[in-house]
Amino acid sequence: MVKTIRVSEEYHEWLHAHKESDETMEETLRRMTRGPHPDDVAGLLSEEEAADAKEAIDRLRGRDRDRLDTARSAFERESEDE
């Protein structure tokens, strides 16, 4: 499956400037972000372990969302009080 991402022209130019002549843009992005190639990590986790990891990530994101909502509410209350 192939996905398309949108980036600013400035970011694309920066990334292209760092691209090696023998690399694809994906390879450049992986190198620049230090992300592993999917083939390097395929099969490291069982389906159960992968599901547990995904649930843990979802819980962490939920906590982050709760903190963001709390902070937003606090700022909105301050703005209303002014």
17-42 pLDDT tens trace: 999 999 999 999 988 988 777 788 88
Q: In the prediction, which pLDDT does 38 show?
A: 77
Listed residue (41, 5, 50, 40) closest to 26, CA to CA: 5
Residue 81 has pLDDT above 90, yes or no: no
Same domain for 38 and 52, yes or no, is no
Name the DSSP letter for residue 17: H
Same domain for 25 and 60, yes or no, is no
Structural domain count, the chain: 2
Same domain for 3 and 34, yes or no, is yes
Rg, the chain, Cα only: 20
Name the DSSP letter for residue 44: S
**Cβ neighbour number for residue 64 with a 10 Å cutoff:** 10
Note down the domain range covering 32. 1-42
Distance, in Å, from the CA atom of 21 to the CA atom of 60, rounded to the nearest integer, reads 39
